[in-house]
Structure 1
Amino acid sequence: MTTALGQQPWEPALSVRQVLTLERVLAGQPEVVAGAHRLDRPVRWVHVAEAADVGVMLTGGEMVLTTGVLLAGDEVKQGEYVRSLHRAEASAVVLGLGRAFPTPPDGMRRAAERCGLPMVVLHRPFPFAELTEEVQSRLLRRKFAAVSLSEAVRTELTGLITAGAPVQRLLDEVARHGGCPVVVTNLAHRVLATAGERAAVDDVLRDWERIARQAGAGSADGWIRAELSCRGERWGRLLLCGYRGERAAGRLLADRAAEALVLHRMLGGDGTHVQGPGGSWDSWEEQSARNLLTDLVTGAVPARQLLSRARAAGLPVNRRVFVPLVVRGGDAALLDRVLRLLGLPGVAADLGDDRVTVLLSLAPDQDARALAAHFAARLRSEPDASRAVVAAADARAAWDAVPAGLREARHVADAVADSAPGLDLPPVVRLRDIHLRGLVRLLRDDPRVQSFAERELDGLLGGPDEDLLAVLRTYLATGRNKSRTAQLHHVSRPALYRRLEAIQGRLGVDLDDFEQAASVHIALLAHDAQQG
């Protein structure tokens, strides 16, 4: 696992600008005479040096203090001194004016400007030892604070992992420590998970494409990245978005978080999966889709607030038409693969209860009905989904209407699940296809409907002959077709007649009477909906 943006050193650092604001430095009346645009360079250490070849003694990031006593009167040496600092990647040079240089030397200033090396002169005599002591003590305090934070975070996250906490809990803790949004992405910059204050996360995701590009290039201030990898293969990134603390502390926090996420995944499978419904292990993409669709279906988060999250997850949302689907008889991974094979933009997720929710995102000029039918046909061509039932709501042109469409598709799928075996259904079932069954299912929790169902079916409920209820269900669902009912139950016609007579006797009804048969049918639909 690699570190944050730019592979910068671990040591906490002050910037040149921060050093110049220290009280002891201000007493020396500092003036920036070159490289003013580079004052945010980090100062890793302070070094006092007079030798012209000082560069060979540096390792990078040092602020070099000098009186220039060995450089006076020789512009060639002055220029070489500055260039050697530049080659050694020093952060800045500070020249104390005095006997050697009563005024800033032009040779050094011009060389520093050409190299882009900040050059600062001190107009008042200043003990370099005081500056060295002040900066070094501050750097040590920062380093101690960063290491303490690192160990505290590691201990806390490891404790959560051993306690079996979900990955979202880990991310929430990282966001709390960082005081900023946390985003996990795949290598294509698609958002897989987020944590942090909702409003702040929404602000990040609203302009995610631009922000991700800047963070990837290392040009975003306060954005710290840690790579996620397992067994030598990178699979994602964790980003602290707009971290306002010390950068070294932020890098430590990001890496501790990345270590925890990788450990959490390795304990669950191949290192790229999270635990989903029923204890199964889903990919990050599947978890992201499940969280998005769950929030849409339940209405826990207003649809408008989910728009940026859907866009960041890779779902096209601008000038699109959305088709809500719910599938019974196929898993989310299979449905996602079918979407990819057909080139249909969409997300699929298992939301439990043997239902996979799908949201297609189509262009306005595409035929939503034809594509939904094509999807259903291609899905049923798969051996593991040959009996899949695809329920759909009408296409939604507005994103705000998507939650209602998803709930409608779920309602249709549940109503179909209550149907008797052998019922003929269209390739894609919609609300208009479930007729009375859909209405009864909507009213299933009404106490009056429950009482009606129990009263009408009292002679069969709880009795020893459970198969009579199944025969009645098939008989009514097939439009009282005796031949079809006998065929589906694998009995002879005379045997079926005897069972129908027993049913009529127990219920006290005549099933040849349309009104009485309809009443029993409605009661049975209500009973099945309640039990389902």
Structure 2
Amino acid sequence: MASNLAPPLLPTLRRLLAQPGLELRLLTPEWQLPAHALDQPVEWVHSSDLADPTPFLSASQVLLTTGTQFADPTTDDYYRDYVCRLTARGIACLGFGTEVVRAGTPDALVAACLAEGLPLVEVPYETPFIAVARAAGDLVAELRYARNTWAQGAQRAISHAALRPDGLSNILSELSRQLGHWVALFDAGGALDRVFPRDAFSGADASPALRQVQAEAGRLLRRGQRAGTTLDEGGETLTLQTLGRRDQLRGVLALGGVTLLDQASQHVVTSVIALAGLALEQNSAQGRARGHLRSGLLQALLGGDLPLVQSVSGELWGSLPAEPVRVAVVSPPPERLDALAELLELRVEERPGHLFFARDGRQVLLIVDPAADPLLAELVDFGLHVGVSDRSDYRSLPHAAAQARQALERAHEGAAGIVEFEVISRQGVLAFLARTDASEVGRATLRPLADHDAAHGTALLTTLRVWLEHNGQFGPAATELGVHRHTVRGRISHAEQLLGRDLGAFHARADLWAALLAAG
């Protein structure tokens, strides 16, 4: 496909020097100047005879002077310092007007410009400075018109690309071709979805650049708001813009190149952002329809109709994960449900047969194979708490879902993270009671001992805990408490009287131990 790159932003010094009628003569031979010195962009032409005009100049300007600041005799150091100030400011070229103050251009000025790599041209007496400035202005206006014309053509080409199959890929490819930049699309989870040209990140130095862009895309997505940013990295200007509505971001469009985007280019990019956002919104609408189908299949699966779900899933998304499976449950905020669904759809496409997911009320239930830890970690990066069941077969799926929901309840007690039901089951039922509303019941059960200790300065409650921890053995309990075992025996007898319970019975001890755990 032929290239259709945008015209340059500004005219080059070479083109200005070649304008007919100006008769500008280059005094510093091109072969003695730095490479591409004559191909620098020229922003404007300014004239000044100040000894230090740099406060009134900007980079990429041409400075014209008649040399009144060079009073005779002027030392070589004076010329060198003058030129150094200009090059430090980023001046593209110095023009010396002859026969106004002095005949010819000072040899010391030529030498200083050659030493600093600054192009120096002689402006003949017959060429007024205003003519040079007007010629530069005409070139700038000509290029501005050319760029506006290019922008209109580029927008038409991109609109036509959107009508072809896989319109989203085609408009991104066309944008890359028109700008001469690479263009990348990151999905709702921050992963690279597609890039044009396709080998943009295949070079030896591409991985750091990709990591930089991907990290910034992930940061924008985590904010959950429409946003854009521009970065300078490795000589490239990187531009990133989120796609989609606030709190329902669909991805990030990123592009990079060695040239800056001017207003015309930005108009083209803005049109692509609109088209890409529309395409992703349409994909989202289709995703919601698939979501309703997924939810229906989940209910069929929980109801035991495995053949039906296998048949439908196999046609649309690939086979279900092979047994044994685990169930994971998350409760995303309502405004992030669509973004999460898009992320999971992408993961299904990447690894068919390893994930099935569906909404179940306000929760999202995932059926995954045992090797799904990276996906679960990605959900945590999404800012979610995750509850995970033990391994299960499909016949026991309702039981596994109940385990995952219990684990999710535990997960919500801390920061975003993963809690597996296996961890809860190892802690035992009594430990689980301590995390429910049984705490008030536990404190009420133990209140007679707590009140007695407060009123009389005794240690019945502490003694009861230590005694139960030592399986009701008086000797080890006494050793830990630092008292005689008969003292422990007496305290436990007193506790029995206050509680009205026979602590020789197992169920009474178990009940009090549960009360101690629940009371905290």
When normalised by structure 2's length, the TM-score is 0.42
When normalised by structure 1's length, the TM-score is 0.41
Of structures 1 and 2, the larger Rg is shown by 2
Structure with bigger RCO (C-alpha 8 Å, 6+ apart): 1
